[in-house]
Structure 1
Amino acid sequence: MAFWNKIKNYDTLFFSVLAFFAIYLFCSYNGVGISPDSIMYTSAARNFVAHGNLHTFNHAPIVDFPVFYPTFLGIISFITRIDPTLFGWWLDALMFASLIFCSGWIISRFEPTSHIYKWLILIAIILNPGLLQVYTYLWSETLFILEVLLFMIIFRQYMLQHTVKWLVFAAIIGAVACITRYAAVTIVGTGGLLLLLDRSLPVRKKIGHILIYGFISISLLVANLWFNALHTGTVTGPREPSITPFHKNLYYFGTVFCDWLGFTPNQYFLATPLAVIILAGFIIALVYNFYRRRLSSFENIAITFALVYGLFIVLSSTFSRYERINPRLLSPMYIPALWGYSSWALLVLKRVNNRRVRVAIAALFIAAMLGYITKIFLVDKTRYNDLIADEYGNPGYTDNDWMESEMANYLKTMDKSIFKPKVTIYSDAHEAVYFFSGMSSYLVPHKFFKKDVEKFYQKKHFYLIWFKNLENRELINLTDIKSHKQLKPIKEFGDEGGIYEYNLNSN
């Protein structure tokens, strides 16, 4: 026992170092991955440092995303005097290492726990392809997932002691998370559900604690949404109704778990049944823990969050249109789900008295975990070979396709005087224009918003920077625009796109 107690924290630190090294490996060629969302965060962070506001490159307040992550980047940039695109991989590596350390700390306090179980689970977390993707990009999920674990740690302290101090601390974590990602309302929901189910609280005290927790945890989100509405007229930017029904979103939810379990696309026929089993399993486990009065365990808090978050993603995707359910969207759910569906083995081993049966169950679990770890390791190895060994880089605006792009390199070095002052520049990828040229531009309108399309076609003079390889079906396309406007080519780049001008007075 003395040996195990001695390594209780050193082994967690060891796996944290491995996690840091994993991110270093995947960012070793072209640094942190830069996506359109990354550019939004980065431009707001730069403006925070330079002007003290959170405006994006198009001079408007950041609305589609909450304010804390770009503020977080801006604070680090202000202190270090380094741009987020340069320190991004360091930040991601440190946060991933912190995530693993928090995970190990929590697992060590499972009821019961095991060092072998802990090591296998930490390896499975480090090697999860979804998490490795998230933590190699400048995305707010990197901070949000860490906040989820911090919330679990603090909220468990509250459930053990039922003091207002710990309740307020948990609510503050929830409040900050809500302005990191809007999906953090699931943290608020998780805490609220556990408070409602907690039978050890007297009714009057329960009501008071729910009110305190609810008021504090949504306070910053309400302030953020109020600011958005005041300055832009929308609370979270323009949103379109969903085009995917509930059953389709349930299927997409299941395909992500198929990927995480090492299934191939040929086995996606299992996606919907798997999604139903996973969500139903969380519900059954929560009900079981409620009747067994085991709500305060880390395992139960994790199960509750996984259930609330999973349902939120499926249901919100059914009513509002955003990117299709994918590993990035479900990444905050991976660790809680892994804990929820693996910790049962510890409970079974604790209750089995027959030594041979215990050894058999333990061997079966270890074999299953090693098989799973091998599968995801091979996925990671393939990704590493494709992106790093073959010198391509993390997909995004710093990968080889863009670095070797004639159009991107022209935007970096062009004479900006070709654009007349005060004439609006439009693009189908306005974030790409900013990333490569530093210029502000505006997105061409979505087809769904008819009034915006009409206003666009009423413009008498504008410039258009069009990226053919980024064409978005939800936006009006180049063919549509050319059917309404006689565009004058300024510079064309074959299949890559071109720069155009429309001036009614010169036609």
Structure 2
Amino acid sequence: MQATRYLKHIDTLVAAIAGFYAIHLFSAYSGIGISPDSIMYVSTARNIHEHGSLLTFNGGPLVFFPVFYPAFLSISLIIFQADPVAYGGLINGLLFAAVIFVSGLLISRFKAKSIIYKWLILAAIVLSPAMLEIYSFLWSETLFVLTILLFILAFKQYLQKHSWPALLLAALVAAICCITRYAGITIIATGGLMILADGTLPFRKRMLHGLTFGIASSCLLAVNLIVNSLSSGLATGTREPSITPFSENLHYFGTVLCDWLGLTNVVYPFASGLAVFILVGLIAGLVINSLKNRLNSYESVITFFAVVYGLFILIIATVSRFERVNSRLLSPMFITLLIACTYWVPNVIRKIKKRGAYWLASGASVIIMCGYLYNIYHIDRQRYDDEFEYGIPGYSDDDWNKSAFVTFLKTHRNIFKPGVTIYSDADEALYFFGGITGAKLLPHRFFKADVAKFYSEKHYYLVWFKKLGNAEIINIKDIEQKKHLTKLYDLEDGAIYEYRQ
């Protein structure tokens, strides 16, 4: 009996192993992908491990990101006795395998059980370009997605039992989500709204449970924000107001959905309509289930989170300025959105009485899904062919690893006089390749006081990477119009200057 219990998840285990192997393939050539965010996480993890501090490579406190993912990397550093960059492929492979396995557990507990549906969804997760992208990099989304799925498991237990231990366990998982990514507040919103909408509980009990969940789940985030404020004066770092209106963000949201569906950019003009159609459809389904007191299911929790997270990204992108709405930002909702848009299909097919119509609907659904899998497989194959030749885009690809300027920085680490400030358009690259700590990023144009302070500096070095072209910060032309820079070294892809008043 016990053996049968474990054997029924053998298909989920196979899918998890396939996901682990996929990450191994993508990281085999150049190692795990490294971006500026990755260097923030890794440098903080190193400082946690070596000094017990939450400082990044530039000597400042970690405020732009919550603390849990760097802490997780520092734990992995202890376990593997090696740097997270070296073992990033293994770490992410295990995380992706865990995500796939938990997804399989969730699907196996749906009200309308279908082994074919489970296999197809697991295959879609394994082959998903969105998932393979984030698990190819050292990004906090890799851990965040897993904590989301664990919250769904825990919160469903609360909806079933309505006990205090189940509520507090769900709140604990939600609290961990919040200190993995600040967007984890969507988990608090999901849980709080679902408690308030739970018609099976008396109103007073709903209010008490909702208040308890809200306080318990936000406590770790509150501590993190207080520490940030005390160390830097800012709770989440400097944030600029958005420059993209809601309508534009909605369009970008829709283009990501088009990409996830494997569609070409020919359908981009209809992207906003697709986004509205999906979100409104999911909201309508939740309202109907709420009125019928049918929110007590894994499917409802999954759908609720997908809607809350999607709306949160649209709103926050309209209020605050960060990178354009893209697949990475929306990736935490990919699995939940995939399930929310498809879980009802097996149940609808099962209700078809006529045998011929039943098999026709079943066959059509499987063919459509197989066509989707075939399409995204070719997208993955093209990406793999590119990255097998050049590496994963970012600081681990050949443009950086074979760069003459990077080689120069690695072999001339002592060319800077101690005590003189070093500025750069990529301070994280100086740390990652040259081991230079304490370098500063050139100021953003938006923050006029920072720009003025920079121009008042009397002596500094400037390390300029020629191919980056970050329009957000002041560039070499801006500086040379105001200051006379002495060029110390000049290579094809970078140069080093010195300014002395």
Whether the TM-score (by the shorter chain) exceeds 0.5 is yes
- The aligned counterpart of 1:219 is 219
SS at match of 2:61: coil
- The aligned counterpart of 1:429 is 426
- The aligned counterpart of 2:173 is 173
- The aligned counterpart of 1:52 is 52
1:32-70 CA distances to partner (integer Å, 9 max, x unpaired)? 100100000000001111100110011111111001100
SS at match of 1:243: coil
The correspondence of residues 234-249 of structure 1 with structure 2, limited to 5 A, is 234-249=234-249
Give the Å deviation of 1:421.
1.2
Is the 1:19–1:97 contact (alpha carbons within 8 Å) kept by the matching residues of 2? Answer: yes
Please report the TM-score for the alignment, with normalisation by the length of structure 1. Answer: 0.97
The correspondence of residues 409-428 of structure 1 with structure 2, limited to 5 A, is 409-416=407-414, 418-428=415-425
Is the 1:424–1:462 contact (alpha carbons within 8 Å) kept by the matching residues of 2? Answer: yes
| 2:463 aligned residue (438, 441, 465) | 465
Give the Å deviation of 1:208.
1.2
Query: Partners of 2:271 and 2:494 in 1: how far apart?
Result: 38
- The aligned counterpart of 2:314 is 314
Query: Partners of 2:357 and 2:290 in 1: how far apart?
Result: 29
Counterpart AA for 2:355: R
Give the Å deviation of 1:461.
0.3
1:339-364 CA distances to partner (integer Å, 9 max, x unpaired)? 11111212202322222221111111
| Structure 2 residue 150 is the aligned partner of structure 1 residue 150 | yes
- The aligned counterpart of 1:191 is 191
SS at match of 2:11: helix
| Structure 2 residue 29 is the aligned partner of structure 1 residue 29 | yes
Give the Å deviation of 1:497.
2.1
Query: Partners of 1:431 and 1:476 in 2: how far apart?
Result: 17
Query: Partners of 1:11 and 1:264 in 2: how far apart?
Result: 32
- The aligned counterpart of 1:290 is 290
Query: Partners of 1:293 and 1:110 in 2: how far apart?
Result: 17
SS at match of 1:492: strand
Give the Å deviation of 1:258.
0.3
Give the Å deviation of 1:78.
2.4
Is the 2:413–2:434 contact (alpha carbons within 8 Å) kept by the matching residues of 1? Answer: no
- The aligned counterpart of 2:485 is 487
Query: Partners of 2:46 and 2:354 in 1: how far apart?
Result: 63
The correspondence of residues 12-27 of structure 1 with structure 2, limited to 5 A, is 12-27=12-27
SS at match of 1:500: strand
| 1:439 aligned residue (428, 433, 436) | 436
Query: Partners of 1:4 and 1:252 in 2: how far apart?
Result: 46
SS at match of 2:390: coil
Query: Partners of 2:352 and 2:4 in 1: how far apart?
Result: 22
Is the 1:461–1:503 contact (alpha carbons within 8 Å) kept by the matching residues of 2? Answer: yes
Query: Partners of 1:415 and 1:102 in 2: how far apart?
Result: 46
- The aligned counterpart of 1:124 is 124
Please report the TM-score for the alignment, with normalisation by the length of structure 2. Answer: 0.98
Counterpart AA for 2:407: N
SS at match of 1:84: coil
The correspondence of residues 130-141 of structure 1 with structure 2, limited to 5 A, is 130-141=130-141
- The aligned counterpart of 1:394 is 392
Query: Partners of 2:200 and 2:374 in 1: how far apart?
Result: 43
- In structure 2, relative to structure 1, the CA distance for the partners of 1:464 and 1:347 (3 Å cut) is same
For structure 2, the 5+ residue unaligned runs are none
SS at match of 1:464: strand
Query: Partners of 1:26 and 1:327 in 2: how far apart?
Result: 18
- The aligned counterpart of 2:62 is 62
Give the Å deviation of 1:79.
3.3
For structure 1, the 5+ residue unaligned runs are none
- The aligned counterpart of 1:501 is 498
Query: Partners of 2:497 and 2:208 in 1: how far apart?
Result: 62
Give the Å deviation of 1:31.
1.0
Is the 2:171–2:217 contact (alpha carbons within 8 Å) kept by the matching residues of 1? Answer: yes
Query: Partners of 1:292 and 1:27 in 2: how far apart?
Result: 48
Is the 2:239–2:320 contact (alpha carbons within 8 Å) kept by the matching residues of 1? Answer: yes
Is the 1:54–1:71 contact (alpha carbons within 8 Å) kept by the matching residues of 2? Answer: no
Is the 1:8–1:108 contact (alpha carbons within 8 Å) kept by the matching residues of 2? Answer: no
Give the Å deviation of 1:20.
0.6
- In structure 2, relative to structure 1, the CA distance for the partners of 1:415 and 1:219 (3 Å cut) is closer
| Structure 2 residue 300 is the aligned partner of structure 1 residue 300 | yes
Query: Partners of 2:353 and 2:167 in 1: how far apart?
Result: 39
The correspondence of residues 354-373 of structure 1 with structure 2, limited to 5 A, is 354-373=354-373
Root-mean-square deviation (CA, aligned residues, Å) is 1.4
- In structure 2, relative to structure 1, the CA distance for the partners of 1:312 and 1:415 (3 Å cut) is closer
Query: Partners of 1:163 and 1:224 in 2: how far apart?
Result: 28
Counterpart AA for 2:251: Y
Query: Partners of 2:4 and 2:350 in 1: how far apart?
Result: 18
SS at match of 2:423: strand
Is the 1:246–1:315 contact (alpha carbons within 8 Å) kept by the matching residues of 2? Answer: yes
Query: Partners of 2:281 and 2:343 in 1: how far apart?
Result: 13
Query: Partners of 2:89 and 2:481 in 1: how far apart?
Result: 44
Query: Partners of 1:111 and 1:357 in 2: how far apart?
Result: 22
- The aligned counterpart of 1:455 is 453
Counterpart AA for 1:474: E
Counterpart AA for 1:169: L
Query: Partners of 1:317 and 1:358 in 2: how far apart?
Result: 44
- Count how many residue pairs are aligned between Structure 1 and Structure 2: 499
- The aligned counterpart of 1:230 is 230
